[in-house]
Amino acid sequence: MKDRVMVFKQKANKWGKVLISRHRTIYTAGLNKIRGIEFFSSFKNDRKKQILGFTSIALLVGMIGAVFMMISTLDDSLAAFEVVVDQEVLAIVRDEADFQKALEAAEEQIQVYDVDIPFVEKIQFNEVDADDEMLTNHDSIVRNILMKVDIKVSAVALLVDGKELLRLPDMETANKLLDTIKEPYHVEGNNQVSIQYKEKVELREIVGAAGSVRTLESALNYILIGTDEEKIHEVQKGESAWGIAKKYEISVEDIAKANPDINPDRLQIGQEISLIVPKPYISVVTREYAELVEGVPFETNYEDNETLYEGDSKILVQGVEGIREVKAYIIKENGVEVGRDVLEEEILSDPKTRVIAKGTKPRPKTMATGIFSNPTRGRLTSGFGMRWGVRHQGIDVAAPTGTSITAADGGLVTFSGRNGGYGNLVIIDHENGYQTYYAHNNSLLVKKGERVYKGQKIATVGSTGNSTGPHVHFEVRKNGVPVNPLRFVSY
């Protein structure tokens, strides 16, 4: 990131110098002529030259201002400090006060040892450019400071499967940590038979550097999340979970896992979301006795039917679940069922088999198959959902002008023409409750009333209507209501 920033700034400065150099030459030549009576007279009497001259000056001022504003904004947003002691980098912080807070926390921790931090006078703050991902978090700064002090203290090491994971100040804190990890999975009553760790967890008294010892809160976060890394994104106006996920190259599901208390479909401006998916070092396994009444799945049989088209089906006999009573031990890992030991099982009612007729009649080429194909080849640039404060009712796929657009499935063309912000638009009714929209086309190759088959070329990519570049806006509607096209196509 730092290298990219430096390259950008160098280019921006170079552009500024080139602009100034070129326009200085023009200005100097113009000034020399202005000093001559002939040019002044010509300029005074030539309206076109006057307009051209004033326009050039205005453009020059605007371009130079934009370049230097861009450099200034970049500097402000990335400005940070590298904290150095004896040529060793202890931290990267946005503000000197951030390091000062960590220094005070470190001093407080070593007060009991009657020791001062010896290198306070040697601390240097060097200006650097750094994005948020490069900054050192508070707990890590404190540990780096204490490691530099190098005080040996009694501590308790927490080992997981034979490997030291972290250190705590004493046995009381260590046991409290383990109890805190188990606490959410305790169940009231006598049904919980056991609660234990999946991994082999040990505590061992040691002597080590003060900087390697964690607080209870720091240790708990490290174990449950699996890292000290912090990645926080503040939701901006017009952003969606899909757009944020794409920006950071993660999935929307990852955002949901990292933020269990937040609905990814209803993000709020200014809301802070974590981008770190928890991968706990210690898992809690519980074993609970349960008596359950639950459904028994029914089976499904298929029968060929000559009156139905290939790909179509019809339920002849509706399946019905059975009912059974189960006594079992339910095994859960971090609250999620992973298995069960069945002690007794009694069928209270048998399930009824479902019978489905399966069509064998050849299907007409222009009849919908029920499965959509990608309407064009290209790059997904915008997803379905909230965008710029309004709901985006489809997806955008960028491709060069003239690229073929094909019918996602067979059906009837119900619209082909100009339609406001959609520009050149094709709508296909697939006669199964679904309709597809293909917008911003350059050329339209089908007409209203035509039947088309899946994969048939119906238009070419363009940038008509409300569009910022060549792409196809693709919508899928079910009974007239827009649904996410990525449920049916893949980009």
Higher pLDDT, 220 or 27: 220
Residue 490 clears pLDDT 80, i.e. is over it: yes
Please give the structure tokens belonging to residue 42: 């010509």
Find the mean pLDDT for residues 56-82.
60
Higher pLDDT, 291 or 41: 291
pLDDT of residue 175: 97
pLDDT of residue 389: 72
Residue 421 clears pLDDT 90, i.e. is over it: yes
Question: Which pLDDT band holds residue 74 (cuts at 50, 70, 90)?
Answer: very low
pLDDT of residue 24: 43
Q: Tens of pLDDT along 124-138?
A: 999 999 888 789 989
Tokens 């901006």: give the residue.
236
Q: Return all residues near 94 (Cβ < 8 A) that are at least 6 apart.
A: 79, 80, 81, 130, 135
Count, in order, helices (H) and strands (E) of the chain.
9, 27
Q: Tens of pLDDT along 25-50?
A: 433 444 443 344 343 444 445 555 45
* Spatial separation of the C-alpha atoms in residues 412 and 351, rounded to whole Å: 42
Question: Which pLDDT band holds residue 246 (cuts at 50, 70, 90)?
Answer: confident
* Spatial separation of the C-alpha atoms in residues 322 and 94, rounded to whole Å: 63
Please give the structure tokens belonging to residue 253: 């599901």
DSSP for 186-240, please give it.
Answer: --SSS-EEEEEESS-EEEEEEEEEGGGBPPHHHHHHHHHHS-S---EEEPPTT--
- Which residues share a beta bridge with 320? 352
Provide the b/e sequence for 36-63 (b: ≥16 CB within 10 Å). Answer: eeeeeeeeeeeeeeeeeeeeeeeebeee
pLDDT of residue 54: 52
Question: Which pLDDT band holds residue 206 (cuts at 50, 70, 90)?
Answer: very high
* Spatial separation of the C-alpha atoms in residues 430 and 487, rounded to whole Å: 17
Residue 77 clears pLDDT 70, i.e. is over it: no
Percentage of the chain surpassing pLDDT 70?
Answer: 84
Strands 354-361 and 300-309, by their bridges, are parallel
DSSP 476: E
pLDDT of residue 290: 94
Q: Please tell me the least confidently modeled range out of 23-27, 92-96, 296-300.
A: 23-27
Higher pLDDT, 196 or 28: 196
* Spatial separation of the C-alpha atoms in residues 75 and 68, rounded to whole Å: 11
pLDDT of residue 11: 41
Could you tell me if 173 and 216 are in contact, meaning their C-beta atoms sit under 8 angstroms apart?
Answer: yes
Strand ordering across the sheet containing 152-160: 163-168, 152-160, 201-209
- What values do phi and psi take at 82, rounded to 5? -95, 120
- Which residues share a beta bridge with 462? 471
* Spatial separation of the C-alpha atoms in residues 14 and 8, rounded to whole Å: 10
pLDDT of residue 106: 85
Percentage of the chain surpassing pLDDT 90?
Answer: 61
Q: In the predicted model, what is the mean pLDDT of the chain?
A: 85
Q: Tens of pLDDT along 441-460?
A: 999 999 999 999 999 999 99
Q: Which run of H or of E encompasses 84?
A: strand 79-85
- In angstroms, how far apart are the furthest CA atoms of the chain? 112
Tokens 């059906």: give the residue.
411
